[in-house]
């Protein structure tokens, strides 16, 4: 049974990443006002440029943050503070040179021992990092730059993990997460709030105090804020897929939506436009839209996006490494549902391709396969009557679903755990347990209880 499709847009990634208007200040005549204006303008060119948040030694005293000044003039950081991630006040007369780099270390002594050749480091210690957000404020308390980073989702790449009891599942891989690399900004001229503008350093232990190893003046277009509507289409519905595309240039972009019905051999390309006529909002607003044809009831549609710029830089979204031993994919999904649900209880939907579903089903049927925690790629859609981000329907692409439990891992139906990437959390959660079983109950009762869980109804004891 399904709820009526909602026409509201559902961006699983909050699109608050528009470029800061670094010089959008009002400057009045007079020396004092002019000085304030110049300070604000120059300060806006100081950005968080590199982060060592998880050194491979696991010694938190080896953590550090790097700032970069892209302005042609020195910036005095006296009175500036890092107010999130760490709590650190810059000493008086701390100067960040024009075009230069400055390191803030968790422990200055430990940093000097590991990086003896780096001198452009603040002599005071900031302490270990805490959380996933770093915020830099100037001496007036104005936030100059802020970055929220993770080790999964768009901050990583999806690939097949190790074989676990004869089964493989998807994992998030990020070399900057404890594997010897730092997290580096690629193009400082684009907003550093976009995950796709960051990557793992190719230089072991990062590049503190100097240009980043993966730095580039031109990168492939950023693809973000991807969504489809209706979220739960009916057989008569045309589906619109939209995304924000960010590049160094606004002209010459070619954006393509590739889709296929689950089980089909090939994908069909559909051009996406920023013309205000394809479900993309206003013309020229950076949102691109494309439409997909209506499909029969229960059809699962698999899709991915590609964006190419004038310099022929190409990005494919979502990013995953195709396995060499199977046809499994980690693309985006939606499913057509002709049903109409008028109840008041929540519904939680987990959508998979047949290849992923069959793999998950197979590993839950016998021992020792059922002990495998191999994760399958899925789309999570929830409807619970609670308005979150303007909608009661929530959409999360690229979640991971695995078998769970102890004595019930071979039960039918199985218990499952849904892992949600931290950059697209669901109600501030990165995981959901789908408990379908209770001991000492007949199988028919267990199946009914599992269906009640999927519909969000109270379990019968």
Computed from CA positions of residues 10, 14, 19, 24, in that sequence, does the dihedral angle turn out positive or negative? positive
185 pairs with which residues across the strands? 198
Q: What ranges in 23-169 are assigned the alpha helix state H?
A: 31-43, 108-114
According to the model, what pLDDT value does residue 345 have? 83
DSSP state of 450: H
304 and 358 co-located in one domain? no
Cα end-to-end span (Å), the chain: 23
In 152-299, beta strands by DSSP E = 157-160, 170-173, 183-185, 198-200, 222-229, 239-246, 254-261, 268-272, 287-292
267 and 358 co-located in one domain? no
55 and 150 co-located in one domain? yes
Residue 357 lies in a domain: yes
Q: How many domains does the chain have?
A: 3
Rounded to whole angstroms, the Cα distance separating 234 from 53 reads 45
Rounded to whole angstroms, the Cα distance separating 155 from 151 reads 6
250 and 351 co-located in one domain? no
Residue 285 lies in a domain: yes
51 and 196 co-located in one domain? yes
According to the model, what pLDDT value does residue 415 have? 82
Residue 176 lies in a domain: yes
The CATH number of residue 293's host domain is: 2.60.40.10
Residue 338 lies in a domain: no
Question: CB-based contacts of 185: which residues, under 8 Å, 6+ apart?
Answer: 47, 48, 49, 50, 68, 192, 197, 198, 212, 215
Question: CB-based contacts of 27: which residues, under 8 Å, 6+ apart?
Answer: 33, 34, 36, 37
Cis omega before residue 97 (within 30°)?
no
Coil, strand or helix: which one is 227? strand
Domain hosting residue 250, numbered range? 222-321
According to the model, what pLDDT value does residue 3 have? 39
According to the model, what pLDDT value does residue 387 have? 77
According to the model, what pLDDT value does residue 316 have? 98
Task: Calculate the alpha carbon distances from 21 to 18, 26, 45 in Å.
Answer: 9, 12, 11
Residue 363 lies in a domain: yes
407 and 294 co-located in one domain? no
Coil, strand or helix: which one is 197? helix
CB atoms within 10 A of CB 198: 24
297 and 393 co-located in one domain? no
DSSP state of 3: P
446 and 358 co-located in one domain? yes
End residue of a domain, out of 138, 167, 200? 200
- Residue 382 phi/psi, 5-degree rounding, is -125, 145
Residue 396 lies in a domain: yes
Rounded to whole angstroms, the Cα distance separating 31 from 39 reads 12
194 and 75 co-located in one domain? yes
Helix, strand, coil percentages in the chain from 3-state DSSP, rounded to 5: 15, 35, 55
Task: Calculate the alpha carbon distances from 13 to 9, 48, 153, 397 in Å.
Answer: 12, 21, 10, 10
133 pairs with which residues across the strands? 148
Rounded to whole angstroms, the Cα distance separating 54 from 175 reads 10
73 and 158 co-located in one domain? yes
Place of tokens 């004038």: 310
CB 15 within 8 A of CB 352: no
End residue of a domain, out of 145, 167, 200? 200
The CATH number of residue 135's host domain is: 2.60.40.1260
Tokens of 83: 């107010």
Helices (H) and strands (E) in the chain, counts: 4, 26
Residue 332 lies in a domain: no
Encode 139-187 in three state secondary structure: CCCCEEEEEECCCCHHHCEEEECCCECCECCEEEECCCCCCCCCEEECC
Residue 36 lies in a domain: no
Coil, strand or helix: which one is 196? helix
Rounded to whole angstroms, the Cα distance separating 240 from 230 reads 7
According to the model, what pLDDT value does residue 16 have? 37
According to the model, what pLDDT value does residue 406 have? 62
Question: CB-based contacts of 285: which residues, under 8 Å, 6+ apart?
Answer: 274
Closest CA to 350 of 236, 432, 428: 432
Strand-strand pairing, 254-261 and 239-246: unpaired
CB 424 within 8 A of CB 457: no
Question: CB-based contacts of 95: which residues, under 8 Å, 6+ apart?
Answer: 74, 75, 76, 77
Residues of the chain short of pLDDT 50, as ranges, are: 1-41, 439-461
80 and 190 co-located in one domain? yes
According to the model, what pLDDT value does residue 19 have? 37
End residue of a domain, out of 263, 286, 321? 321
Q: How far is CA 391 from the centre of its chain?
A: 20
194 and 49 co-located in one domain? yes
């Amino acid at each position: 049974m399904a709820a009526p499709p909602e026409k509201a847009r559902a961006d699983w990634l909050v699109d608050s990443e528009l470029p800061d208007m670094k010089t959008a200040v009002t400057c009045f005549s007079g020396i004092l006002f002019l000085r304030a204006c110049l300070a604000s303008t120059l300060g806006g060119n100081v950005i968080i440029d590199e982060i060592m948040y998880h050194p491979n030694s696991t010694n938190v005293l080896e953590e550090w943050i790097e700032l970069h000044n892209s302005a042609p003039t020195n910036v005095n950081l006296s009175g500036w503070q890092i107010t999130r991630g760490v709590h650190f006040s810059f000493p008086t007369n701390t100067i960040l040179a024009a075009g230069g780099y400055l390191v803030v270390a968790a422990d200055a002594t430990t940093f000097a021992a590991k990086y003896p050749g780096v001198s452009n480091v603040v002599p005071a210690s900031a302490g270990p990092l805490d959380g996933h957000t770093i915020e830099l404020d100037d001496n007036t308390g104005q936030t100059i730059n802020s970055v929220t980073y993770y080790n999964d989702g768009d901050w990583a790449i999806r690939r097949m993990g190790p074989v676990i009891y004869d089964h493989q599942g998807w994992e998030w891989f990020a070399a900057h997460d404890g594997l010897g690399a730092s997290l580096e900004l690629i193009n400082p001229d684009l907003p550093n709030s976009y995950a796709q503008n960051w990557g793992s350093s190719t230089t072991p232990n990062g590049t503190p105090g100097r240009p980043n190893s993966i730095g580039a003046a031109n990168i492939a277009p950023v693809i973000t804020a991807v969504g489809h509507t209706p979220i739960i289409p009916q057989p008569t519905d045309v589906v619109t897929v939209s995304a924000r595309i960010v590049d160094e240039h606004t002209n010459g972009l070619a954006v393509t939506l590739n889709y296929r019905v689950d089980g089909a051999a090939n994908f069909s390309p559909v051009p996406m436009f920023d013309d205000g006529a394809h479900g993309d909002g206003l013309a020229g607003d950076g949102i691109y839209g494309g439409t997909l044809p209506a499909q029969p009831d229960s059809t699962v549609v698999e899709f991915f996006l590609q964006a190419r710029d004038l310099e022929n830089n190409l990005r494919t979204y979502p990013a995953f490494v195709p396995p060499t031993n199977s046809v499994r994919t980690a693309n985006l999904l939606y499913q057509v549902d002709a049903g109409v649900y008028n109840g008041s209880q929540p519904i939680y939907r987990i959508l998979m391709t047949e290849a992923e579903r069959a793999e998950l089903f197979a590993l839950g049927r016998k021992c020792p396969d059922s002990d495998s925690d191999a994760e399958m790629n899925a789309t999570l859609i929830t409807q619970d009557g609670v308005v979150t981000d303007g909608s009661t329907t929530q959409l999360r692409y690229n979640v991971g679903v695995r078998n769970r439990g102890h004595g019930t891992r071979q039960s039918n139906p199985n218990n499952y755990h849904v892992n949600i990437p931290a950059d697209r959390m669901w109600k501030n959660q990165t995981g959901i347990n789908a408990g379908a079983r209770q001991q000492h109950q007949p199988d028919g009762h267990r199946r009914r209880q599992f269906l009640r869980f999927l519909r969000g109804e109270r379990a019968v004891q």
